[in-house]
Structure 1
Amino acid sequence: MTDSAITEEKLDAAALFALPKPAGECRIVVAMSGGVDSSVVAALAAESGAEVIGITLQLYDYGAATGRKGACCAGDDIRDARQVADRLGIAHYVYDHETAFREEVVETFADEYLAGRTPIPCIRCNMGPKFTDLLRMARELGADCLATGHYVRRIEGEAGVELHRALDPARDQSYFLYATTEEQLDFLRFPLGGLPKQEVRRLAERFGLTVAAKPDSQDICFVPDGDYAKIVKAMRPEGGRPGNIVHAETGEVLGQHPGIIHYTVGQRRGLEIGGLAEPVYVVELDAESAEVRVGPKRMLAVNAARIVETNRIGPLPAGELTAKVRSLSKPVPIILEGELGGGAECAIRFASPEFGVAPGQAAVIYAGERVVGGGWIEETFASA
């Protein structure tokens, strides 16, 4: 398909935003982070003929983020979003959400690391400020829908609205949106889910947006230099409590560490342990004793995991289910045991041993391309 064919198809308002009435009678609220993706969504919404309002949430300190590139929702990003709105001739509002973001996302992030878990703040953000609060604001503004730049697809299925993976697997963000409720999905729109990133940048150039070549945002927007341990230690000084690195099989003390917040299950680098017959990995973190337990790769193998605070989107299918237990992993076949959804806990059993499954991460369950739901990994069970 040519660039122009893609552009013409994607500029069809009905196909893009599934509006309930003619575009000229609709109001679309767009979540604008200041990046190229949400900016293109705003441009497409404006070109559809609908009234468009852009909303940017300021999520963390403006001063600390000034001048940063590849961030989100602060500093230059807010200015970029405003410039795009001015270019498009749409209304744009900035809401200070720093306190809520700190309480709901950043402090939870720190507490999870302190407990020896591996958190995913992007999911917490989507569950709270990004969708719950933005969606409420959009409704209060009388919008017909809330559109975002996420790379996922919203599809009207026989049993209701469904969430599907993006057509471009390299850009798919469905792992981070498994907690979206059916009620939220009814109101949300994801017009970029059928486009590869290069097409989005070409659209940005065609619309004359200054962010066309802007770098993609980081996964953890509030960690300026990638040193998450520094953020955790600043918020929870006890996270710097030193302890022993212990061999999980023999109990032998192999070395010392500067705090468990520096380690995650499955980690190999940075252990600084020599003289062993085989490579070792972090297999367990004991927050109470401040022990980092290491062992050979086979000790990372698990055959099941218990997941909590589960969400389900649509009915459970009768066919095969798969699950992703890390954002960059491939879905693997599983058997679901127990009730999924409504905040209940259940278990997933892997068809083959899975490695590096870490408490605190999410397990996202799929039926083919459709997101069935998922939950937080609370506990894992080692393979026999």
Structure 2
Amino acid sequence: MTEGADFQLGPDLRGKRIVVAMSGGVDSSVVAALAARSGAETIGVTLQLYDHGAAVGRTGSCCAGQDIRDARAVCDRLGIAHYVFDHESRFRDSVIDQFADEYLAGRTPIPCVRCNMGVKFTDLFGLARQLGADCLATGHYVRRVVGPEGAELHRALDPARDQSYFLFATTAEQLDYLRFPLGGLPKPEVRAIAAELGLGVAMKPDSQDICFVPDGDYAGLVRKLRPDADTAGEIVDLEGRVLGRHPGLIHYTVGQRRGLEIGGQAEPLYVVRLDAAARRVIVGPRRALAVAAARLSEINWLGGGYGGPVHAKVRSMAKPAPARLDGDRLVFDAPEYGVSPGQAAVLYAGERVLGGGWIAETESAFAAAA
């Protein structure tokens, strides 16, 4: 096994108690192995978040059916305790229902962040405390670095695996208690550790982005939860001229080009914004997607006294862009594209995560220039 792979757990935890959040995948399974190897008493905890239909036996999901059985098998292999807690109703109320409501409001939600903010970190934090643990360890690909002002959140060393965007809402109190042993490891090495230990999940596929949508049909799930989601409406241009009809706002996101079914236009049109109150899809040329600034809500700050330049990441796959935060207003140095209400804006200083917030509103650079 790789020497030093458990460096982020720290020598101070030897002989103490570690609770490991186990989803049934290879990442959290390896974390449990590293925790047990550190000499600490290790307890695996799995939250049952949902268990419906095809998710029960499907691999590549998270916290349901087969995944729970996989987590238990890993704990048996490692000789550590494993507990399962049913948080299905809380997950449904705080994540799934909010996911549907956000789509109905014309926003593009990120349920993985909401899950981390609530069920996974807040609830697991409380459970770990109740179990008398000295820390809670997870399989997320981020790094916890102790700086002059305390624990800091940093990107993973492997940029292809970095999950810091989804953890911007981690509080300073939680960060003090959390450990992320995989932040300095590439995924192939994690799988190699699992194989070396004979863990049955060594080659298990990674979980999909939204675990509670087994077939990837987001619109279908929203339609099931909110029957009025398919109410049709107008597709209009920036001046309000009707160009066509749409079958429901849930089928559209800001920046979308395909599926508009609008012909005979002088140039390609994109979804510029969604007007939930009027059930309208507003479209325009690509330049109309340029955003000068965004207002953020529920801002979480992890930067301490940092006051230097920042880079803002407005989508999980976006490149961080130079910006400045003025109160709750995020101002981009140059017009940014693909900024959508409901998504998160995460702020960085180099490799360090300074925090972030939810994009509530945007200010168009196109309108300012016009």
TM-score tier (shorter): over 0.9
- Partners of 1:263 and 1:62 in 2: CA distance: 26
Taking every aligned residue pair, what percent have the same amino acid on both sides? 69
Instruction: Give the Å deviation of 1:256.
Output: 1.3
In structure 2, what is the Cα distance between the partners aligned to 1:82 and 1:293? 49
Q: 1:168 to 1:220 in 2, by over 3 A?
A: same
Query: Tell me, what secondary structure is at the counterpart of 1:16?
Result: coil
Task: Give a deviation string over 1:248-298, Cα, whole Å, max 9, x none.
Answer: 23x222221110011111111111222211111100101111111111000
Stretches of structure 1 that go unaligned for 5 or more consecutive residues are 339-345
Between 1:253-262 and 1:352-361, the stretch displaced more is 253-262
Q: Any unmatched runs of 5+ in structure 2?
A: none
Structure 1 runs, 4 residues or longer, greater than 4 Å off: none
The equivalent position to 2:304 in structure 1, one of 297, 301, 315, is: 315
**Aligned with residue 195 of structure 2, among 205, 220, 229:** 205
State the match for 1:362 in structure 2: 344
Q: Which residue of structure 2 lines up, in the alignment, with residue 289 of structure 1?
A: 278
Indicate conservation of the 8 Å contact 1:19/1:26, yes or no.
no
Q: Does residue 1:18 correspond to 2:10, yes or no? A: yes
- Cα pair distance change 1:290/1:73, threshold 3 Å: same
Q: Which residue of 1 aligns with 2:51?
A: 61
3-state SS of paired residue (1:204): helix
The one of 181, 204, 211 aligned to 1:214: 204
2:323 paired with 1:304 = no
2:8·2:144 contact (CA, 8 Å) conserved in 1?
A: no
Task: Report how far residue 17 of structure 1 moved.
Answer: 0.7
Amino acid at match of 1:146: L
Which residue of structure 2 lines up, in the alignment, with residue 151 of structure 1?
A: 141
Q: CA RMSD in A?
A: 1.1
Identify the residue that residue 253 of structure 2 maps to in structure 1. Answer: 264
Distance 2:100 2:32 in 1: 34
Q: Specify the alignment match of 1:96 in structure 2.
A: 86
- Cα distance per residue 1:224-259 (max 9 Å; x no partner): 11111111111111111011111123x222221110
Query: Counterpart of 1:343?
Result: none
Query: Aligned partners of 1:315 and 1:77: how far apart in 2?
Result: 38
TM-score normalised to the size of structure 1? 0.93
For residues 77-226 of structure 1, what are the structure 2 equivalents within 5 Å? 77-226=67-216
Residue matched to 2:316: 327
Specify the code of the residue in structure 1 equivalent to 2:253.
T
Q: Retained in 2: the 8 A contact 1:29–1:146?
A: yes
How far has the Cα of 1:102 moved from its partner? 0.3
1:20 aligns to what SS in structure 2?
helix
Q: How far apart, in 2, do the equivalents of 1:272 and 1:83 lie? A: 50
What is the SS of the residue equivalent to 2:319?
Answer: coil
